[in-house]
Amino acid sequence: MSGAVLDLKQIRENPTAIQEQLNRRSADRYDISPILELDRQQRELESIRTQLQTRSNEIGKEIGQKIKGGSDPKGSEIQALKAEGNEIKTKLSEFEPQEKEIKSKIESLLLQFPNLPSESTPIGNSEEENIEIRRWGEEYLPKNPNILPHWEIGEKLGIFDFERAVKVARSRFVSLVGAGAALERALITFMLDRQIEAGYTEVIPPILVNTQTLTGTGQLPKFAEESFKCQEDDLWLIPTAEVPLTNLYREEILEASSLPIKHCAYTPCFRREAGSYGKDTRGIIRLHQFNKVELVKIVHPDTSEEEHQSLVKDAEAILQALKLPYRVIELCTGDIGFSAAKCYDIEVWLPSSGKYREISSCSNCKDFQGRRASIRFKEAGKKGTKLVHTLNGSGLAVGRTMSAILENYQQEDGTVKIPEVLQQYMGREVL
């Protein structure tokens, strides 16, 4: 049994195994028994409806045969059969809305359930049980003993303006000024250039998307409170480019020969950060609006694990080119995201806090999003279709990358060196 979105057939055939896998996830407890009960009711109604439909068909034939055999069409025998037939039609018309309501309830419940963890995802209850896979760049750890936090050095350099951004919007917004704006733009262009070289096709997608789009990738209904909505238009600001990029192929049947599809995109991203109050209130680590370069792959199920590993390497390559120390963490079952079956986090070193902080989350969603968004593929010469596997990861979060540069490249005289690979984009060597 693969780590896939919960579908009714899986729950019906493997209820114990499904419940056990769900129990391995976070503190949120998911109970499949209401779905099982609704499914029982639905199948019971289907069985009765089938019996009634069969009897209705029999009555029609019986009336025809009796009339053909000489029975009076207005006689009591025929009239009794017609009355029985009309009674059955009335019952059938009553069943239709009942079945429709039960089906709607089942679909609504299924949308609230997360993906099942992959069999290779480590079992654990929280982030404390995540597993460190590797570290890179310890030789680039800064020697400067007096590193200022990125927000302090940013304000000293005049590249961050928090006060005016709050006046224009609210807290957790920033305006990037002068060299700050140039550094952000340089990072975006550099990241896109590298990922295009790695084989990704660049897309500029819509950053306002409809409810169906957010449902397809798993942000709705569970994370509605995390998102900004344009109430009158049924449009939402995207939390990540994963949402529009994956949904470009919603309700399509792709040719197997077109896989893998690999896209990269720069977009602004918007998150309410509900539940994070008091966390990272200073600086640009946790803003309501931030820029990100996203990587999305739509792949054949046979290659998804291999494609996942290469996705992680593509994200790591940016940090290696920038010579920023980082580590790769494999998330346990209690810490993986709602849509993920397996996930690796890349964490960059932030010296002011003395720890690694997440800069990219690389997820293999297997067929979870493929089923929700109805993205399938067809193999040449074979009947039927199969669900695609989808993968996504940041390549990278731009603001967090800037934070890491401002701290790791900070000099004792208060200047900040610009990483070599960015100098051609910036036209300077120092901030």
**Hey, what are 131's tokens?**
């597993």
| CB neighbour class for 421 (10 Å; exposed up to 12, middle 13-18, buried from 19) | middle
Order of all β-strands in the sheet with 235-237: 208-210, 235-237, 229-230
**Hey, what are 421's tokens?**
């690979």
CA torsion through residues 141, 147, 149, 150, sign: negative
12 an active-site residue? no
172 an active-site residue? no
Per residue, the 3-state secondary structure of 244-310, as one string, reads HHHHCCCCEEEEHHHCCEEEEEEEEEECCCCCCCCCCCCCCCCCCEEEEEEEEEEECHHHHHHHHHH
Three-state DSSP class for residue 340: coil
Catalytic hit among 286, 310, 327, 353: 286
- Residues 346/358, Cβ–Cβ less than 8 Å: yes
Catalytic hit among 339, 347, 400, 403: 400
Smallest CA-to-CA distance from 396 within 338, 287, 316, 326 is with 316
Catalytic hit among 56, 358, 374, 379: 358
- Whole-angstrom Cα Rg for the chain: 28
- Residues 102/41, Cβ–Cβ less than 8 Å: yes
371 an active-site residue? no
Three-state DSSP class for residue 390: strand
Smallest CA-to-CA distance from 329 within 342, 338, 318 is with 342
**What values do phi and psi take at 11, rounded to 5?**
-65, -45
Residues 6+ apart with CB under 8 A from 363: 336, 337, 339, 340, 341, 342, 343, 391, 392, 393
- Report how far residue 224's alpha carbon sits from residue 201's, in angstroms, rounded to the nearest whole number: 30
223-241 exposure pattern, b = at least 16 Cβ within 10 A, e = fewer: beebbebeeeeebbbbbbb
358 an active-site residue? yes
271 an active-site residue? yes
- Residues 176/160, Cβ–Cβ less than 8 Å: yes
- Report how far residue 292's alpha carbon sits from residue 266's, in angstroms, rounded to the nearest whole number: 6
Catalytic hit among 25, 172, 271, 372: 271
Which residues are known catalytic residues? Answer: 271, 286, 358, 361, 400
